[in-house]
Structure 1
């Protein structure tokens, strides 16, 4: 603002802002503008070629008609001459063929290495199986008595669990009671049948008239005790397990 343009009083806000901006821009030395700083950062990280200096810019502006953009080294040559990107039958460049050949070679090499590793694992497992089979044939490394005991315990545990999970069937329980009456000395003999209280409703109308069921909490579920004047007959899962254990104990030790 010159002295001729000066008017006494408060300057307008727009004039004050323009004056401040002009003073700030005129005070920046060449090469330190925001554009110059961004160009230096890009040049440091290889983003673009070095920016021309302030003196070079002035000389280019003085030249006027000289181009300031990129120009090819050979303007007469055409690198893409005869190339059609939509031609599927176009010959493959040599560089692409080399890359594809290297990829195929690497694939086959990796496949061969994987096959060798798999063969090594199979051979190792076969050796271990042969060693175990040899030890079992020798019989010295296996305790046959301990093996037989383990088999007995396993069978007993499985049968016990199976009997507990099946529960009590009314038709089967009645059939067992009827079979027990045939073991009495006299089929017409009266007998008292002691069963678990929860099994008593299952036998209603299913037992012979000479058998009188009574509840007894000391009897396990699924079991019964038939008491007559001449005979006592007991049956139940507990007796089955005892008979099974006795049969397993009498079984011969398996030969290895």
Structure 2
């Protein structure tokens, strides 16, 4: 465009050049000359006049840059993925090892717990069995003791009844013997009494009852048996003669 305008300026005629009417008309149809500032504006307008072309230029310029950036990014991502993969593999191996160890520990703990629970259950069952056996033994012992006590009480009751019976019999015998003795004593007392006659003395009565050797002692027995204070006894007095 600038070259075309320059060529046009080279063929410009001076102002006083006579042209025919046709040449003058053609000259009048030519665009006027542009100044330097107008030329710069024209250039700028020309640059922005085709935006699609400008976009294509920018696109082709950016393609290598984008390719380089993508390549570098992919390289970095690949290396980071490899490191990450290795790290994850290491972590996975470590995690698997830890998981196996934890699983083994958990299994061992579960087995120990189950064994402890079984031992506790067995101990509890044995304790309950021992307690039941002890309870049964205590109940049997208590029952035997109760029976023994009942037997002892029955025996004691029978012995007491027998003793009471024997005592009653003995008392009855004793009462009968005492009664018989009393009757005999009464009979004997009645037989050994003496009624004082006229002219009798206490010494004579004692000599008749006890003999001459025991007359003096017999006087004292008669006095004690009858409550006499002297040897004088009125006629008709009934005296007890003790043996």
TM-score range, shorter chain: under 0.3
* Bigger share in strand: 1
* Bigger share in helix: 2
- Larger Rg over CA atoms: 2
TM-score with structure 1 length normalisation? 0.26
TM-score with structure 2 length normalisation? 0.27
